Amino acid sequence: MRHISSALYRYAFHSAALCTMLYVAAPLHVVAAAESVGTRKANVQEAPFLTTTLSNATPYVGEEITIHYTLYFQEIAPKIVRESQPSMQGLWAQASNPDRFINSKSVQFKGKAYRSAVIKSYRVAPLQSGQLPIDGYTMHYVLSENEGEGEKSITAPSVAITARPLPQPIPQGYSGAVGTFATELKASA
């Protein structure tokens, strides 16, 4: 059996059965981080904070990307009480269902040791071109050993997607597929 390796087709994929024009954007990883707010006494852990990560900050209209909200904390994991959903005007969005128990891992962030966990993810696709802000995701929490302190909240940093229109003129035979696609072909001799 002869194996032809996977290939990423940019702009056009042709075969005897299929002739479709595809628009592809190169992935771009963007991270924004909120600084902890308030003053803390020495030898007390810093307040938890959130980061916002986009899989691509400049997708084409209709191209699906992902948004991840990551929680960073030290020592004591905050107990999430509730969340306020982000504003995503001009975007189709679907939240991924989180696991009941969120796994955290040890990481370094700006030279300090933290635990981190992705607490919320969205699949998003721009419905229009232009600047599309994403803001307002807020996590309300209590620290498990200090539940008497009351509920606190942190808001993730705002980000913006610059959605690009599809190139004009739209090619004949274009079926509406937008994104990055991989294909693999195997043939026996």
pLDDT digits (tens, 9 = 90+) for 124-176: 999 999 999 999 999 999 886 655 568 889 999 999 999 999 888 877 887 77
d(CA 132, CA 64): 14
pLDDT digits (tens, 9 = 90+) for 24-53: 333 333 444 443 333 333 334 578 999 999
Amino acid in position 100? R
pTM over 0.75: no
Beta-ladder partners of 127: none
- For all residues of the chain together, what is the average pLDDT? 75
User: 58 CB contacts (<8 Å, ≥6 apart)?
Assistant: 25, 28, 161, 162, 163, 164
